[in-house]
Amino acid sequence: MYRSIIVTLVGFLFTAQVLVAQAVFPDNGELYVDTVVPRIDITLNPDTLAWLYQSENLESDVEFTATFVFNNGHVCDTISPVGFRLRGNTSRYSAKKSFKVSFNRFTDGGKYYGVEKLNLNGEHNDPSVMRSKISWDLLRRMGIPAPRSNHVRIYINGNYYGLYISVEHIDEEFVKSRFLYNDGNLYKCLYPANLKYLGSDPDLYKLESEGRPVYELKTNEESGDYSDLAHFADVLNNTSDAQLPGALDSVFNVYDYLKIIAFDVLSGDWDGYIYNQNNFYLYHNLTTGKFEYIPYDMDNTYGIDWFNVDWGTRNLYNWQQGNGDRPLYEKLMQNQEFRNQYTYYMRQLVNDLNLDSLKTAVERRRDMIAPYLADDPYYPLDYGYTMTDFYNSYNQATGAHVKYGIFPYLETRINSIKAQLENTTMQPVIKYISNKRTSATQVWVKAHVDADSLPVTVNIRYTIQRQSEAEAAMVDDGQHNDGAAGDHLYGGLVDSIPADASLTYQVVATDAGQRESVQPHTPVYVPQAGGSGALLYINEFMADNDNIVADEQGDYDDWIEIYNGSDQTYWLGDKYLTDNLTKPDKWQMPDVYIEPGQFLIFWADDEEDQGIYHTNFKLSKAGEEIGLFDANLSAIDSYAFGAQQTDVSEGRLPDGASSWTFFTQPTPGASNETSAVPEIISETSVTAYPNPARQSFIHLSKACDFKVFDLLGRQVDQQRNSNSIDARHYKSGVYFVVLKNGQRLKILVQ
C-alpha cells in the first residue's frame, strides 16, 4: 500500500532534533495524514441524531449504530456498524458539538488502522482552529507520547457539519503503540485531580466529582486496584526534599514530565494539571515500574484565557493556581535538582524554536484548511466568528477569551521566558536505560544522557556475580548500539561474562564541571544466560506477517519459532513464553514435547481460544522483547528486537547461533539455513501446480530431491528425484517444500 509522505508543521520548528524519546512514535499513516483534509461521512438514523441534540440528552454517553466512511483521496473505506455519540464536557452545550466514533462498540476487537476510537473535536473556542494541532505536533517533536492529529471535514447524513480536528484517543491501544505493552493501569484524570495524598487505602482514590471519577481507571477495570496510584501519591507527597530525586524517579518518569511542564508554560496551557488540576492521563508502565504523564486536551493555549491572567508573561517558576494543591509541580520547583533540569529543558526549548519557520508552516496549513472553514455552518454560531476573525486570529486578539493572536503570544511568551530563566547548571541527566544480551557472554547497555556542561563522559559501572567493580565506556558515535551519532543516546558493551554469571550495572555520567550522576539508584540486575540448561532457542519470529504464512484459521498473525538444538526431547508444559521480560510467566506453553532438531511455531496473536499454539500476547512491529523461561522462571533464551519490516522475519543464522539476521524468505517451521541460499531465479527454478490444491497430486516443474514440512516444523514427506507431491492424505493447511538446492516453496492444501 502506498504510504503518504507526511510533512508535519513542526518539521519547521527546530533547527535540530530536540530530544530522543523512550516512547515509540507511530507515523501518521492514512488515518492521520495531514497534508490534505480528509472527509469523514457519518450516517445514522435521523431520529437518533435529533435525540442526541436534545438538551436533556447532551450528557448521554450511549453509543448508537452508524456507518463511517473515510476518504483522504488515497483510501476510501466504509465501516459499519460503528458507535457514535457526543463527547467532551462544556463543548456538549456548544452549538458546534464534538463527536466520538467507536470502531469496537458493535464489532468485537474492531479497529481502523490500529485505532479503536476517534475523537472529532469541534474546537469551537478557537477561532484559528489551529491551537490543538500546533500543540500535539510540538509535543510529539519534543519526544512526548502525545496523540496524532489532523484536520478533517465532517458530514452527517450528507450534511456538512464543518471543519474538525481528529485527535487520537488515549486508551489501551494508544498505550501499547507508545510503550509496547498495555498491561498496566491507565487513569484518566479530571478536575480536581491534584495527586495529593489521601491515605494508604487505595479505595480513597476512587473519589468522584460532579458525578464522575476524578481518577478513572480505563484499563484493568475488573480488578479496580488503585494501590499503584496510592503508592505514587505517597512517594510524591511524603518524601523529604533531599530524598525526592531518587524516590520519585523510581515511580515516575519525571524527566519527560519536566519537558511537559516546559511545554505547558510555553504554550500557556492552563487547563492541565498545573493550573486547573485537569485533563491528563497517568499510565503505570510495568516494564519500567514508572508512571507516565500523558497530556490531554490542548485547545486552551496560545493566549486563550478565561481567568483574566496574562499567560504570555506569567512567572515560569510559579505557574500554578494557589499553593500546596499541586504537589507534583510544586515539589519539582522546590527541589533544586529538578528545578535546574526544568530550566535546562525550557532554555533548550525556547532557544531552538524558530518562529519564522513556524509562522511559514502554520500559514501554509491555515491556507489549506480555510476553504473548508468558509463553508462551515457551525463555525459562526458560538461566538459569531467570521472568516476575517479566522485570518486575524493568527496575528491579533479577537476579543473576549482570545487575548492574543498565536504569533504575538509566542513572541511575548518566549521573550518573557528568556528574561526569567535562572542562570543555573544542572547535573547530567541519565534516562531511558536499557540492556540487550546479544550472546551468553555479552550485554549491550544504552542510555540517553543530557548535560549542561560539555563534554560529558559516560560509563557502565558494573559487577559480575556481584564481585569486584569495573567500568566500560559508553559512546555516542552511532557505532556502539547507540542510535545516531550526536543524538545523546550512548551505547556500551560489557563483554566476557561467564555464561553462569549474573551482571549488575549502573550508568555513570560526569560533565566538564565534574558533576556526576548515577542511574538507576538501585543497580540493574541481568541474570545469567543459562537457565535450566535446556538447549532451546527463540530461533526466528515475524512481528508483521501480512502474507507469508497463515494459521489454521487463515489468519496472518505474528509467530515465534522455537528450536531444539539438543539431542534430547524436552517437555514444554512447564515453560513460558513472554513479550515482556519483567513478566516471564506471561504465557504458559502447552502440554507438548519438542524433539531434537525440531522447529515449533507459536502464534503470537492474543487468541488463546484458537488452539494450544496460540499465545495471550502479540508482537509489536515497532520492536520489543521475546523471552523463553523455565519452570523456575530462569531465562532459557531471550531476544530484544527493533523495528520490523512487513513479511520479513528475523532469526538466528545458523540455527541456535548468537548472530541474528533478517530473512526476506522466512522459514517458519524449518531451518533458517535454507534462507541463506539465494533464491534461484532462472530456467532451473522449480514451481508447483496446482497451488492451492484440493488434496490431490501437486506437480513440480522439474524432478528434484525435496522434503515437505508442516506449519509446526514436522517433516511429513521426503522424495528423491521426483516431480510430484502426493497430497491426497495431507490435512488442509500450509506446507513448505524445501528443495536440496535450497529453494523453498509454500503450498496450500485445501
Q: What does the pLDDT look like over 63-105, one tens digit per residue?
A: 999 999 999 999 999 999 999 999 988 889 999 999 999 999 9
d(CA 664, CA 648): 5
Are 598 and 574 part of one and the same domain? yes
Domain assignment present for 735: yes
Mean local confidence (pLDDT), 379-388: 97
Quick one: 551 and 493 in the same domain? no
Last residue of a domain, one of 494, 526, 558: 526
What is the structure's pLDDT at 3?
25
The CATH number given to whatever domain includes residue 455 is: 2.60.40.2440
The CA radius of gyration of the chain, in Å to the nearest whole number, is: 28
What phi, psi does 461 have (nearest 5°)?
-100, 115
Give the end-to-end CA distance of the chain in Å, rounded to a whole number.
Answer: 28
Regarding predicted confidence, which is higher, 198 or 522? Answer: 198
Would the pLDDT of 11 be above 70? Answer: no
How big is the CA angle at 94 (ends 89 and 100), to the nearest 5 degrees? 55
The 3-class secondary structure across 9-63, one letter per residue, is: HHHHCECCCCCCCCCCCCCCCCCCCCCCCCEEEEECCHHHHHHHHCHHHCCCCCC
List CB contacts of 717: < 8 A, sequence separation 6 or more: 707, 708, 725, 726
Distance, CA of 115 to CA of 133 (rounded, Å): 19
In angstroms, rounded to a whole number, what is the distance separating the alpha carbons of residues 362 and 272?
24
**Residues 107 and 236 placed together within one structural domain of the fold:** no
Residue 8: partners with Cβ closer than 8 Å, 6 or more residues away? 28, 34, 137, 140, 141
Q: CA 101 → CA 80, 86, 115, distances in Å?
A: 11, 9, 10
Whether residue 190 sits in one domain with residue 141: no
Give the pLDDT confidence score for residue 104 in this predicted structure: 94
- Binned at pLDDT 50, 70 and 90, residue 712 comes out as low
Tell me the average pLDDT across 440-455: 92
Distance CA 439, CA 461 (A): 20
pLDDT of the residue at 26: 87
Last residue of a domain, one of 526, 546, 577: 526
pLDDT band at 645 (very low <50, low <70, confident <90, very high): confident
Average pLDDT over residues 370-376: 98
Pair 215, 343 in one domain: yes
Domain that holds residue 714: 688-749
Tens digits of residue pLDDT in 411-428: 999 999 999 999 999 999
How many structural domains does the chain have? 5
Label each residue of 185-204 as H, E or C.
Answer: CEEEECCCCCCCCCCCCHHH
Residues 631 and 736 occupy one common structural domain = no
567: in domain: yes
Between CA 437 and CA 418 the distance in angstroms is: 45
Share of residues in the chain with pLDDT > 90 (%) = 63
Q: What is the 3-state secondary structure (H, E, C) of 657-673?
A: CCCEEEECCCCCCCCHH
Q: Which of 172, 198, 232 is the last residue of a domain?
A: 172
Classify residue 407: in a domain, yes or no. Answer: no
More confident residue, 692 or 371: 371
Q: Is the pLDDT of residue 656 over 90?
A: no
- Contact call for residues 203 and 334 (beta carbons, < 8 A): no
State whether 488 and 566 are in the same domain. Answer: no
* CA-wise closest residue to 370 among 395, 397, 389, 384: 389
Average pLDDT, the chain: 88
Q: Which residue is it, cell 436533556?
A: 56
Q: Which of 337-341, 518-522, 633-637 has the highest mean pLDDT?
A: 337-341
Distance CA(239)–CA(183), nearest Å, equals 28
**Would you state the pLDDT for residue 533?**
55
Q: What is the mean pLDDT of residues 44-53?
A: 97
| One domain, residues 225 and 84 | no
3-state SS assignment for residue 548 = coil
Overall average pLDDT of the 467-494 stretch: 93
Confidence of residue 20 (pLDDT cuts 50, 70, 90): very low
Rounded CA separation 169/117 (Å): 6
What is the reported pTM?
Answer: 0.74
